[in-house]
Amino acid sequence: MPRPMPPKVVEALETGVNLVKLWEAADPEAELSRVAGDVGALAVGGHVRVDGPYMERFPRLQLVSSFGVGYDAIDAAWAGGRGLVVTNTPGVLDDEVADTAMGLVLATVRQFPAAERHLRAGRWIDGAFPLSHTLRGRTLGILGLGRIGKAVAHRAEAFGLAIAYHGRRPQEGVGYRYCSSAVALAEACDILVVITPGGADTRHLVDAAVLKALGPSGILINVARGSVVDEAALIAALQSKTILGAGLDVFSEEPEVPQALLDLDHVVLLPHVGSASHHTRDAMGQLVVDNILSWRDGRPPLTPVAETPWRGSYGAPSGSR
């Protein structure tokens, strides 16, 4: 474990495997060199970059168990090409992130945070908070209709919103309107929810053209990765009123947030808390542990990512820690 993870993950792994807590070493680099030849599994969070050269340092490596549904910090294609398995924590955080997305939708459209600031500053005595915009008659577009995207759609339907989506291809059995591109989706909707995976393939997928297509009554919600949105283009669109507002849980250079965003009152900002409840983080941590214990026992991984499908065995030599 290169860096600290939730205490329950650390405690469970300490009782189940020979856990190397690299961050506790007086000289982490020296400790890594000492143990690298014996390490068969890595337990990592999204803050650890696991690229090919890093994985090559562990000749017996078989498994990378990652905390989180997104795994763009891991070169899964490199791992898959060498028979290694990468796991993530899908499913257990779908509802929490979908709740966060809808919370941002409501907070942004109805300007609830600004209304609270109005009250706390004592300005209600001087006059009512201005009238807000509404969800009535709007269409919600989902950029990335995976498990979380479908959970967002389910909630949005309960609010009476029409649904459209864009992905690599239309999905069978899905009754929502399909749009052939991100620009086409932005043109078709009033609220654009970004919940597509991060990584090179989706970097700046939401650019100036998409924001222009979303239009002056449009709202952008990002609960995916900061890299999916061109942050400079978003700031320009907000400053020029090219779009109406934005609700953001993720940013390009976390935990740094551009001052230009902080200065805007028609933006709702959260510190990447989409899955940050005790219930959900405990479930995510347990899935990290369960994947490692399955590896320890020679059983199949529970949640291998698409780039590293289970092929009946782990790819690296046995005898690892």
Instruction: Spell out the residues 6+ positions from residue 205 whose beta carbon is closer than 8 angstroms to its own.
Output: 143, 182, 194, 196, 228, 229
Residues in the chain: 321
- On whether the CB atoms of residues 293 and 305 are closer than 8 A, the answer is no
Of the residues 155, 225, 231, 281, only one is catalytic, namely 225
Could you identify the residue written with the tokens 């650890």?
48
Of the residues 11, 56, 116, 254, only one is catalytic, namely 254
Active site residue 168: no
Of the residues 272, 296, 307, 321, only one is catalytic, namely 272
Question: SS3 sequence, the chain?
Answer: CCCCCCHHHHHHHHHHCCCCCHHHCCCHHHHHHHHHHHCCEEEEECCCCECHHHHHCCCCCCEEEEECCCCCCECHHHHHHCCCEEECCCCCCHHHHHHHHHHHHHHHHHCHHHHHHHHHCCCHHHCCCCCCCCCCCCEEEEECCCHHHHHHHHHHHHCCCEEEEECCCCCCCCCCEECCCHHHHHHHCCEEEECCCCCHHHCCCECHHHHHHHCCCCEEEECCCHHHECHHHHHHHHHCCCCCEEEECCCCECCECCHHHHCCCCEEECCCCCCCCHHHHHHHHHHHHHHHHHHHCCCCCCCECCCCCCCCCCCCCCCCC
Q: How many CB atoms lie within 10 A of CB 245?
A: 23
Which residue type does 183 have? Answer: V
Active site residue 60: no
Active site residue 266: no
Residues labelled as active-site residues? 225, 254, 272
